[in-house]
Structure 1
Amino acid sequence: MHFFKIVLVVIALCFVTYLGKSNAATPYDIFQFVQQSPYVFCLGNGICGNPPVLRHTFTTHGLWPSNFTDPSASILCAGTLFDRKQMNADHNLQLLLSNSWPNFNNRRTNMDFWEHEYNKHGRCSDNKFSQTQYFHEAHRLWLTYNAQYLFSQTTGIVPGHQYDYIDLESAIRRTIGGKTPLLMCKYHRRITYLQEVVICFDYNAANPVDCVRTTNCGALVSYSL
């Protein structure tokens, strides 16, 4: 009888461990792939150096597992925290991310930025992607859906000009299968600047889907890089 009790306890512990692993990440519906204009991010904030060293293209802000019910809210992640040893061991990945996902805040390093974004967002999906897979997915999305490239494809929208919000949104929409993107803006000295372009993807980060958040931009938006 004592033997069978021990067996039952072992089985129960294994089951709990399995549940812990299978529920390591918080459930999510979609990914929000968020790109930012380095110029607009640094505009007026005093944390990018003087003069700031910028990439003159959209770069990655984050890849955020989110829920349709409230995509503007961060979901509380239960997945594994960022492991710097994994990133330090993959020099090729660091090189890729230094181009697609660089940090412009002088108060932190690239590694600090990646760690912050992964701990806040990325680990929510660690039942789908390992840490390394997650960052490779983000780089792949940047290569395929770089907003500057998408803007230029169908309408010739180029930096340095003002455009109607609807024209900017439509330019992205036409290049992602008619799905609705989200554009977010920054207001500086009475000018509305395009700061972020958000493209939403399905659970597997494979196919674009409609974004359902509400923009904060006005009707006329300045596009600057």
Structure 2
Amino acid sequence: MEFQGSILIKAILVLQCFSILCASQSQDFDFFYFVQQWPGSYCDSKKACCYPTTGKPDADFGIHGLWPNYKDGTYPSNCDPSKPFDESQISGLTSSLQKNWPTLACPSGDGITFWTHEWEKHGTCSESVLNQHDYFETTLNLKQKANLLKALTSAGINADGGSYSLSNIKTAIQDGVGFAPFIECNRDSSGNSQLYQVYLCVDNSGSDFIDCPVFPHGKCGPEIEFPTF
């Protein structure tokens, strides 16, 4: 009986170690996608948009998220249900989040639902390097480093509803930020392709932009609209 008990204890310890190992492995990742979206393109589509309860956002790119990814193109998600979003952890960042990471989903909201989704789906997968406060603060800092609107307007690419060369848009952002972006398009209510989201890659510490190991799937046309907002 003592021998069997010893085997049982060892088996339990092995299972515990395996579960801990799996949990730590589930949070390993290779790099981040840092994704910003143009609000004019979010709203100028068949899908409705609603301004936040704090009012219409600035005519600037807004943060969508900071997403851990693997070099094979896959990504982890919802890594730690035991770490739900805690609003108190970002109390000092709220005003900056409302300005730089606004929600455009309907019905109008204050951003909490949006930020909760981003933390629980993506942020919990980066806990090995960024706790909740650091995750949001790091993302806000990245937006300041990558001023997409300035990079585009400096190259004569303006949110005026006109069409611009996709290659010129990529070049303008690369010249401004230092790294090649991935451009995601959506379609306006008339079916025209338009500049929607810009992906940049960040090292797995969240510190620096890097060359993207892999780009997402998707393709824009050679000429795309940059709608007003």
Change (3 A) 1:12 1:200: same
Change (3 A) 1:168 1:81: farther
Is the CA contact 1:81–1:119 (under 8 Å) kept in the aligned structure 2? no
> Which secondary structure does the structure 2 equivalent of 1:195 belong to?
strand
Deviation string, structure 1 residues 99-136 (Cα, Å, up to 9, x no partner): 11111113244010011111221111111110111011
> Which secondary structure does the structure 2 equivalent of 1:41 belong to?
helix
Q: Distance in 2 between matches of 1:193 and 1:83?
A: 35
> Which secondary structure does the structure 2 equivalent of 1:157 belong to?
coil
Deviation (angstroms), 1:221:
1.0
- Say which of 56, 67, 77 aligns to 2:70: 67
> Which secondary structure does the structure 1 equivalent of 2:183 belong to?
strand
Give the stretch that moved more between structures: 195-204 or 99-108. 99-108
Aligned partner of 1:76 in structure 2 is 77
1:221 and 2:224 aligned: yes
Change (3 A) 1:185 1:92: same
Q: Distance in 2 between matches of 1:196 and 1:102?
A: 14
Aligned partner of 2:159 in structure 1 is 159
- The one-letter code of the counterpart of 1:223 is F
> Which secondary structure does the structure 1 equivalent of 2:201 belong to?
strand
Deviation (angstroms), 1:59:
0.4
Deviation string, structure 1 residues 2-41 (Cα, Å, up to 9, x no partner): 8xx6x9799768856754663462x211100100011111
Q: Distance in 2 between matches of 1:94 and 1:11?
A: 43
Q: Distance in 2 between matches of 1:165 and 1:214?
A: 16
> Which secondary structure does the structure 2 equivalent of 1:94 belong to?
helix
Is the CA contact 2:195–2:224 (under 8 Å) kept in the aligned structure 1? yes
1:21-170 residue pairs with structure 2 within 5 A?
22-23=24-25, 25=27, 27-44=28-45, 45-48=47-50, 53-71=56-74, 74-80=75-81, 83-84=84-85, 86-107=86-107, 108-153=109-154, 155-160=155-160, 161-170=162-171
Q: Distance in 2 between matches of 1:23 and 1:176?
A: 32
1:200 and 2:201 aligned: yes
Give the stretch that moved more between structures: 75-84 or 121-130. 75-84
Q: Distance in 1 between matches of 2:56 and 2:83?
A: 27
Deviation string, structure 1 residues 79-102 (Cα, Å, up to 9, x no partner): 355544x32354221111111111
Structure 1 unmatched runs, 5+: none
Aligned residues with identical type, % of pairs: 23
| Number of equivalences | 217
> Which secondary structure does the structure 2 equivalent of 1:190 belong to?
coil
State the 4+ residue runs in structure 1 displaced beyond 3 angstroms. 7-24, 80-84
Q: Distance in 1 between matches of 2:18 and 2:76?
A: 23
**What is the root-mean-square deviation in Å for CA atoms of aligned residues?**
2.9
Change (3 A) 1:92 1:134: same
Q: Distance in 1 between matches of 2:192 and 2:100?
A: 27
Structure 2 unmatched runs, 5+: none
Change (3 A) 1:21 1:70: closer
The TM-score, its normalising length taken from structure 1, stands at: 0.82
Change (3 A) 1:214 1:78: closer
Q: Distance in 2 between matches of 1:190 and 1:18?
A: 49
Deviation (angstroms), 1:194:
0.3
